[in-house]
Amino acid sequence: MSIDLRHDDDVLDVVAKTETFVRDYVLPIEDEAAGDITAAGGDDLRREMNAKAKDAGIFGPHAPVEFGGLGLNMCDRAPVFEAAGYSTFGPIALHIGAPDEGNVHMLAHIASEEQRQKYLAPLAAGDVRSAFAMTEPAPGAGSDPNALRTEAVRVDGGWKINGDKHFITGAEGAGFFIIMARTSGAPGDRGGATMFLAPADTPGLTVGRHINTIDKAMIGGHCEVSFTDVFVPDEDILGEVNEGYRYAQVRLGPARMTHVMRWLGSARRCQDVAVDYVSRREGFGGRLGDLGMIQQLVADNEIDLAATRALLLKACHELDLGNHASDETSIAKTFAAEAYSRVADRSIQMCGGLGVSADLPLARLSQELRPFRIYDGPSEVHRWAIARRAVGRAKKAQQALEAKASAGAR
Amino acid sequence: MSIDLRHDDDVLDVVAKTETFVRDYVLPIEDEAAGDITAAGGDDLRREMNAKAKDAGIFGPHAPVEFGGLGLNMCDRAPVFEAAGYSTFGPIALHIGAPDEGNVHMLAHIASEEQRQKYLAPLAAGDVRSAFAMTEPAPGAGSDPNALRTEAVRVDGGWKINGDKHFITGAEGAGFFIIMARTSGAPGDRGGATMFLAPADTPGLTVGRHINTIDKAMIGGHCEVSFTDVFVPDEDILGEVNEGYRYAQVRLGPARMTHVMRWLGSARRCQDVAVDYVSRREGFGGRLGDLGMIQQLVADNEIDLAATRALLLKACHELDLGNHASDETSIAKTFAAEAYSRVADRSIQMCGGLGVSADLPLARLSQELRPFRIYDGPSEVHRWAIARRAVGRAKKAQQALEAKASAGAR
Amino acid sequence: MSIDLRHDDDVLDVVAKTETFVRDYVLPIEDEAAGDITAAGGDDLRREMNAKAKDAGIFGPHAPVEFGGLGLNMCDRAPVFEAAGYSTFGPIALHIGAPDEGNVHMLAHIASEEQRQKYLAPLAAGDVRSAFAMTEPAPGAGSDPNALRTEAVRVDGGWKINGDKHFITGAEGAGFFIIMARTSGAPGDRGGATMFLAPADTPGLTVGRHINTIDKAMIGGHCEVSFTDVFVPDEDILGEVNEGYRYAQVRLGPARMTHVMRWLGSARRCQDVAVDYVSRREGFGGRLGDLGMIQQLVADNEIDLAATRALLLKACHELDLGNHASDETSIAKTFAAEAYSRVADRSIQMCGGLGVSADLPLARLSQELRPFRIYDGPSEVHRWAIARRAVGRAKKAQQALEAKASAGAR
Amino acid sequence: MSIDLRHDDDVLDVVAKTETFVRDYVLPIEDEAAGDITAAGGDDLRREMNAKAKDAGIFGPHAPVEFGGLGLNMCDRAPVFEAAGYSTFGPIALHIGAPDEGNVHMLAHIASEEQRQKYLAPLAAGDVRSAFAMTEPAPGAGSDPNALRTEAVRVDGGWKINGDKHFITGAEGAGFFIIMARTSGAPGDRGGATMFLAPADTPGLTVGRHINTIDKAMIGGHCEVSFTDVFVPDEDILGEVNEGYRYAQVRLGPARMTHVMRWLGSARRCQDVAVDYVSRREGFGGRLGDLGMIQQLVADNEIDLAATRALLLKACHELDLGNHASDETSIAKTFAAEAYSRVADRSIQMCGGLGVSADLPLARLSQELRPFRIYDGPSEVHRWAIARRAVGRAKKAQQALEAKASAGAR
């Protein structure tokens, strides 16, 4: 049998350890903080949890081994990240939250040797956090990356950057930023973008207000960030000039999938809480969990979770094979994000009044999960891309047939 | 033409006044309070808004004219309540929020002359608020009213009540309570329940903690309430002993519909905010509101709002004709509650990152609307009731056919 | 009480008579024909049923009284057409099927006195059938009417028409045609269209093949029709030259609603058949109709039917008031068409293997109902129109606010 | 990398050959027959196609190598069966249609050596077809297998069977039957069932009428079958007495999955036809395939197909590992069956009027796919089973926690 969907024992061991760690250590911390998790616990708590995760042998499962990580590929990250995501504090504890995890991934692929020592090493170790500054307020680069307005102009020995960003996750308290700026073309055409590395204390780099979103679990929040004549020397260009869009793709596919992994844990927790509830609670002459309409909710959650997990594995496998996997990651991301909202919503419904109260974590988790249908590309943008590719394939098939027919006619 | 779906001009005048009042006076108050509306503004603000509503001639549109209200029937309440519900503070301002509005309705139908003066008059005037104490924690009366455990036992000159309630809306600060307690039978059988009136300062009546639900706009919160040897004299029995379930029906049908009315305003506001956004914002080479997938969201919201309004009118008309309208109110309530969640969710999606932030009211309104699929009977319970009636009708039709056939055979 | 949703007693009497007529006379005919209803019974059967309907006093409920009809307005047509639509042969029997019913409606509004005698009188009496020739094969006028390619050019004493139509309902056997042809502008711009009346035996008018659609209940089928130098004299122009699009609107709104009415009957029949089944059939330790998942299907059907009926009444009322009601009819049509597919599908599911067999009429009715999401404007086109209007209203509101603000600033 | 989702090259070779075979040879046959495929082409055509498939080296991909098949496991069958299912005649051509394919699978697992020669060999070679007689008319074994009423009683040298079956696929023309009959207990309790092998010409075995279902592509139809004192000698008992339910499970899991495989081909064909259409057709100022609402339909189909394929692979892998995979096969079956209806329906919608006509194969394929939500266990029964297992797991987890807590307390 060539096809094999089973993880190796050492991966399963990391999964098991992560499950134990989350259940025994992280969930109690989250429960305590649940009343006020705006700051997602803050960096002191993060460092404390990171140390515990290192002790448990599960810190940085995705990071290169040379930088202290476990070096797991995408397929093997999936169950570990899911186990961590069972608590919204789990990814912080394992240092696999967004955007650090994706930044580690990208730096490991693209950074120069100097940049690896200067930026990747402390990031992988959890000594600092990082931010990825790409999204801009209207009329800049939101869902449509071509609208990029932040601009870098050539100056002596480097580049000078000006522009505004928002929804920059983890900006508050980040040690350094990866900045996406236009280096050719004009907003609206594609043109070229470049990625720049800049320490947080670079003059002209300002972190503004936290945008008060309904998800609260990302350390450092979602912030507004502005760049006023920010100077970046040539050695801190990440990769090549004008190749920023291509690198963004390197980051985006895997980053989408690790979002899917982490939030899969949260969605499963919703289902666990709800099924636990309906299997205990009585009403209408029996156990709630034996009523047909409740069974339908339970089953639909199982189906949604299973389908997400299956699509995720497929996309991860394509990425591990070195493919772009644009279609597979778009499909998995879109399905997952919508499935998570459905799962959380059904779980709330199963628990009635308690479901919409803070006595259970469901309403809070539902809030954490909702934005995923918007973050990392709204479902509409992914569907547009999926459809364009499908229509493009049909067009190509037609042209091939016509070419064959006209060749035959000659 | 006998069929007429148009409101009289004097009703339309109240609607127009309410719209102006909400837009110019109430919404600015809500916006200011939005950061912290846990207390829904509190009773001082309520009294201030009530005075303004009286000045505007729109206070108590549902209350009997003899008690200072406008005396509108259910059909005519609908557009007024919708206009008020456009702000979550609007129903408080017009004194038509739950549970006061439903309690006024019920007292106007059932209360004795003494009770009307003692309880209804100050309630209708907005001098006091009230609470309706029916729902109990597990294993008591939640979705299944037959599980009622709070018990009233006959004592000299009245009744002594013991039991625990939860999710009692408006309990904190209420002037009096309507208490549903078992007066015959045992939990699990139907038996008989009775409604009792009790001032808030009655010894043994204790308002406990606020349940921290995701909806925040109900003044007085959703509280736990306990009764320890609460004495109610005979003259404060509401209606007849053992008729409580029947009276609850009197209250429940209309109360469901006024929920539908108020929240219809909030749902429409979501759509207004979102359509305003997509008609301004550019992206993907044009206006967002001209993109097909966005148009689908816009149109589906329009359809949901129109269908809700149409079902609501039908149910109100049946109630105005003096019918129980169990089917019509269940159908309108179930459809509306689900439609509102869809409308709020689509509106959020249309606005992208802003949609999940506090920069727009959508995420907050979505939280206000979600519990309606659970409050006043979960969708599952209503569907169960709707289906039972449909199957019952089929059974009766079969029996009629069989009776006819057997009569023909003789 | 000004608002009234009740039909007058004489209308309810027509409804009751129609129900009896359909149950006792029409359904047995349909059942017999069910194995082969491609021809929808044919014109001989139609005339026989028409005569019976006349005897029953229910023929032509929509037709002007002066032409032998009952002259019911849109609101009052609704329950009568629904009762007729309970059998797919019912509308043929009452002579209220598409396209005749809509053609009677339009001729009654637009035709000249001569045309009323020549075309409307025999049509209203059921002596002839008619067809409305508007839809064209690609790249002509399909969902997008501006693409109209059939062209009429001015000749001495009249017009000469050339072009191809398809999906022309009732064409086979029709006594005359109403032809929509371009009389100014070019395909792709709006330009002007004109409606022409032409007897079926006009030289150059050819009825081609029946398109083999999944719905079979329309007498005369859906046909291809071609016009080759078809001459129409000036007196057979319907209304004014270049006003065809406007007249089409006169026809389309009501015609959409009468489709909704008729197929509402078929959808209700699906539900009746399924509820009857689940209220008899045992399984899993009880009656199927008492299982929660079945109850959900039953209840969702009830909700869909009720919402359709409520939206339909609203749209009909607007039409009766003389309004265009573009929004109301688009919303009711779109909701209804999708609801009918859901209702039929759930009904099939409730009946298991029998549901997908010809032992019950469900699979067949499901096929009759499916095309309604495409006929008379696909759901997508209606949603596009609904959204455009909503966005347009938002734009206007913004401009009004800006105008007010700039006026205030001066 | 341990996880691998890639098929070996020799499997991909069979897939490619099957695609070519279906496109070049089978589809033209289907197209020709499409007007009248009630008999699914009949056995003469089947034998002709079987011979061609043998020539192409793709006959019996699932059958044991010793019996002339390719011996593919479940994972590897998936893409081959999907490629075959692209035409409704493809599975017949490769001899992998229901119920033969599942019967081969079961006989290969359970049959005695004599039975393998007598029944399996000719079946695997395509010399005969077979039927699996399990489903009974009400009040017998439909969705609920415990209701089994067909009874086998011990007689000298064997068993005598009496009872009625319906929906017996392929019965007309089958060479032999596998009969499920009760051998202990009474209808309603589980008791014991036994499987019997019986040649079609066994006295007392009668194939009755074809049930006229909306799917037409199964050779031999869905028939009523009755057994009147049918004698089966001991050597034709399949496996052990009273173990029939257990064997049925052996058959059911894989048989569900091969249904998913075959119909996945048909669903993909729907999408291919529709995407080809919208990528050619113009309207509304552009290509239909570039309109947002159409893109949403295209993308949702892609997502549904991808999720089905991913769930299918997971379930197949579990079966290949020798697990029961009740959950995985129920989930994959339920999701797939509903996804196929959605895919077919969206494809029809994309093609407008043509979609509901016989000019495209979509309406016909939609009819073929619809019954899958009922056949092989209605979605409701699978959901019930999925939910019961989920609630059962929760219950077990609670008991484990309680046991641990009480152990800790001691």
Q: What is the pLDDT of residues A249-301, one digit of tens each?
A: 888 889 999 999 999 999 999 999 999 999 999 877 789 999 999 999 999 99
pLDDT for the residue A249: 83
Determine whether the interchain pair A7/D4 forms a contact, defined as Cβ–Cβ distance below 8 Å.
Answer: no
Query: Is D284 a residue whose pLDDT tops 60?
Result: yes
pLDDT for the residue B35: 53
Min Cα separation A255/chain D (Å): 20
Q: Find the mean pLDDT for residues D154-179.
A: 96
Q: Find the mean pLDDT for residues C283-287.
A: 81
Q: Which of C8, C334, C391 sits opposite B278 (nearest CB)?
A: C391
Of A181-195, B7-21, B147-161, B214-228, the range with the lowest mean pLDDT is A181-195
Q: Cis omega (within 30 of 0) on the bond before D64?
A: no
Q: Find the mean pLDDT for residues D205-219.
A: 92
Determine whether the interchain pair B384/A293 forms a contact, defined as Cβ–Cβ distance below 8 Å.
Answer: yes
| Chain D residue numbers touching B291 (CB-CB < 8 A) | 292
Min Cα separation B259/chain C (Å): 18
**Is B29 in contact with B37 (CB distance < 8 Å)?**
no
pLDDT in tens, D288-340: 999 999 999 999 999 999 999 999 999 999 999 999 999 999 999 999 999 99
**Is A175 in contact with A123 (CB distance < 8 Å)?**
yes
Question: Would you place residue D38 in the very low, low, confident or very high pLDDT band (cuts 50, 70, 90)?
Answer: low
Q: What is the mean pLDDT of chain C?
A: 94
Written as six digits, the tokens of A227 are 């760049």
**Is D313 in contact with A3 (CB distance < 8 Å)?**
yes
**Is C339 in contact with C304 (CB distance < 8 Å)?**
yes
| Chain A residue numbers touching B293 (CB-CB < 8 A) | 380, 383-384
Q: Which of B144, B214, B357 sits opposite A211 (nearest CB)?
A: B357
pLDDT in tens, A38-86: 556 689 999 999 999 999 999 999 999 999 999 999 999 999 999 999 9
pLDDT in tens, D102-148: 999 999 999 999 999 999 999 999 999 999 999 999 888 887 788 89
Q: Residue C383: exposed, middle, or buried by beta-carbon count in 10 A (0-12, 13-18, 19+)?
A: buried
Of B303-317, D165-179, D244-258, the range with the lowest mean pLDDT is D244-258
Of B237-251, B310-324, B341-355, the range with the lowest mean pLDDT is B237-251
Min Cα separation D293/chain B (Å): 5
| Chain D residue numbers touching C359 (CB-CB < 8 A) | 211-212
Interface of C with D (CB under 8 A): 135, 138-139, 142-144, 147, 166-167, 211-215, 281-284, 291, 293-294, 341, 345, 348-349, 352-353, 355-359, 363, 367, 370-371, 373-375, 378-380, 383-384
Query: Is D37 a residue whose pLDDT tops 70?
Result: no
Question: Would you place residue A410 in the very low, low, confident or very high pLDDT band (cuts 50, 70, 90)?
Answer: low
pLDDT for the residue D31: 84
Determine whether the interchain pair C295/A292 forms a contact, defined as Cβ–Cβ distance below 8 Å.
Answer: yes
Q: Find the mean pLDDT for residues C320-332.
A: 96
Q: Which of A189, A356, A370 would best serve as a mutation to test chain B binding (most B beta carbons within 10 A)?
A: A356
Query: Is A127 a residue whose pLDDT tops 80?
Result: yes
| Chain A residue numbers touching B379 (CB-CB < 8 A) | 349
| Chain B residue numbers touching A363 (CB-CB < 8 A) | 213-214, 367, 370
Determine whether the interchain pair A353/B144 forms a contact, defined as Cβ–Cβ distance below 8 Å.
Answer: no
Q: Which of B3, B13, B331, B346 would best serve as a mutation to test chain C binding (most C beta carbons within 10 A)?
A: B3
Min Cα separation C125/chain D (Å): 31
Q: Find the mean pLDDT for residues A107-117.
A: 95
| Chain A residue numbers touching B296 (CB-CB < 8 A) | none
Query: Is B271 a residue whose pLDDT tops 70?
Result: yes
Query: Is C219 a residue whose pLDDT tops 70?
Result: yes
Q: Which domains are present in chain B?
A: 9-97 (1.10.540.10), 130-242 (2.40.110.10), 246-377 (1.20.140.10)
pLDDT for the residue B38: 54
- The helix/strand/coil state of A284 is coil
| Chain B residue numbers touching A378 (CB-CB < 8 A) | 349, 352
Determine whether the interchain pair D370/C348 forms a contact, defined as Cβ–Cβ distance below 8 Å.
Answer: yes
The residue that leads in pLDDT, B283 or B247, is B247
Determine whether the interchain pair A75/D3 forms a contact, defined as Cβ–Cβ distance below 8 Å.
Answer: yes
**Is B364 in contact with B343 (CB distance < 8 Å)?**
no
> Rounded CA gap, B365 and C312, in Å?
30
Min Cα separation D290/chain B (Å): 9
| Chain C residue numbers touching A296 (CB-CB < 8 A) | 292-293, 296
Query: Is D32 a residue whose pLDDT tops 90?
Result: no
Q: Which of B357, B364, B367, B373 would best serve as a mutation to test chain A binding (most A beta carbons within 10 A)?
A: B357
Q: Find the mean pLDDT for residues B230-240.
A: 97
Q: Which of B139, B374, B383 sits opposite A282 (nearest CB)?
A: B139
pLDDT in tens, C241-261: 999 999 988 888 899 999 999
pLDDT for the residue D35: 53
Q: Find the mean pLDDT for residues B360-389.
A: 96
| Chain A residue numbers touching B347 (CB-CB < 8 A) | none
Among chain B residues, the shortest Cα distance to D289 is held by B292
Determine whether the interchain pair D295/A383 forms a contact, defined as Cβ–Cβ distance below 8 Å.
Answer: yes
The residue that leads in pLDDT, B240 or C191, is B240
Cβ density class A290-327: b for 16+ within 10 Å, e for less:
bbbbbbbbbbbbbbbbbbbbbbbbbbbbbbbeeeebbb
**Is C375 in contact with C259 (CB distance < 8 Å)?**
yes
Determine whether the interchain pair A353/B213 forms a contact, defined as Cβ–Cβ distance below 8 Å.
Answer: yes
Q: What is the mean pLDDT of chain B?
A: 94
Determine whether the interchain pair D166/C353 forms a contact, defined as Cβ–Cβ distance below 8 Å.
Answer: yes
Residue type present at position D258? T
DSSP D268-319: HHHHHHHHHHHTT-EETTEEGGGSHHHHHHHHHHHHHHHHHHHHHHHHHHHH
| Chain B residue numbers touching D291 (CB-CB < 8 A) | 292
Q: Which of D291, D391, D395, D402 would best serve as a mutation to test chain A binding (most A beta carbons within 10 A)?
A: D391
Q: Which of A3, A8, A23 would best serve as a mutation to test chain D binding (most D beta carbons within 10 A)?
A: A3
DSSP A107-122: HHHH--HHHIIIIIHH
pLDDT for the residue C321: 96
Interface of C with A (CB under 8 A): 291-296
pLDDT in tens, A334-385: 999 999 999 999 999 999 999 999 999 999 999 999 999 999 999 999 999 9
> Rounded CA gap, C343 and C306, in Å?
12
pLDDT in tens, D96-107: 999 999 999 999
Q: Find the mean pLDDT for residues D45-51.
A: 95
Determine whether the interchain pair A143/B363 forms a contact, defined as Cβ–Cβ distance below 8 Å.
Answer: no
Query: Is B1 a residue whose pLDDT tops 90?
Result: no
Determine whether the interchain pair B380/A355 forms a contact, defined as Cβ–Cβ distance below 8 Å.
Answer: no
pTM over 0.80, yes/no: yes
Distances (CA, A) of B3 to B204, C8, C70: 53, 8, 17
Question: Would you place residue B36 in the very low, low, confident or very high pLDDT band (cuts 50, 70, 90)?
Answer: low
Cβ density class D66-95: b for 16+ within 10 Å, e for less:
ebbbbebbbbbbbbbbbbbbbbbbbbbbbb
pLDDT for the residue D410: 64
pLDDT in tens, C365-383: 999 999 999 999 999 999 9
| Chain D residue numbers touching C213 (CB-CB < 8 A) | 353, 356-358, 363
Classify strands C192-199 and C222-233 as parallel, antiparallel or unpaired. Answer: unpaired
Q: Find the mean pLDDT for residues C154-171.
A: 96
Helix/strand/coil percent split, chain A, to 5? 55, 15, 25
Share of chain B above pLDDT 70, in %: 97
pLDDT for the residue B39: 52
Min Cα separation B142/chain A (Å): 8
pLDDT for the residue D34: 65
Determine whether the interchain pair A293/C291 forms a contact, defined as Cβ–Cβ distance below 8 Å.
Answer: no
> Rounded CA gap, A232 and B64, in Å?
73
| Chain A residue numbers touching D391 (CB-CB < 8 A) | 275, 278-279, 287, 289-290, 295, 298
pLDDT in tens, D54-105: 999 999 999 999 999 999 999 999 999 999 999 999 999 999 999 999 999 9
Which chains sit next to A, with 3 or more Cβ pairs under 8 A? B, C, D
> Rounded CA gap, B337 and B372, in Å?
5
Cβ contacts below 8 Å, chain A against chain D, sum to 178
Closest CA to B327 of B379, B381, B386, B374: B386
Min Cα separation A290/chain C (Å): 9
Which chains sit next to B, with 3 or more Cβ pairs under 8 A? A, C, D
Query: Is A168 a residue whose pLDDT tops 60?
Result: yes
pLDDT for the residue A33: 79
| Chain B residue numbers touching A373 (CB-CB < 8 A) | 349
Question: Would you place residue B363 in the very low, low, confident or very high pLDDT band (cuts 50, 70, 90)?
Answer: very high
Provide CB contacts within 8 A for C322, sequence distance 6+: none
Min Cα separation C335/chain B (Å): 7
pLDDT for the residue B187: 82
Query: Is A36 a residue whose pLDDT tops 70?
Result: no
> Rounded CA gap, B116 and B112, in Å?
6
| Chain D residue numbers touching B292 (CB-CB < 8 A) | 291-296
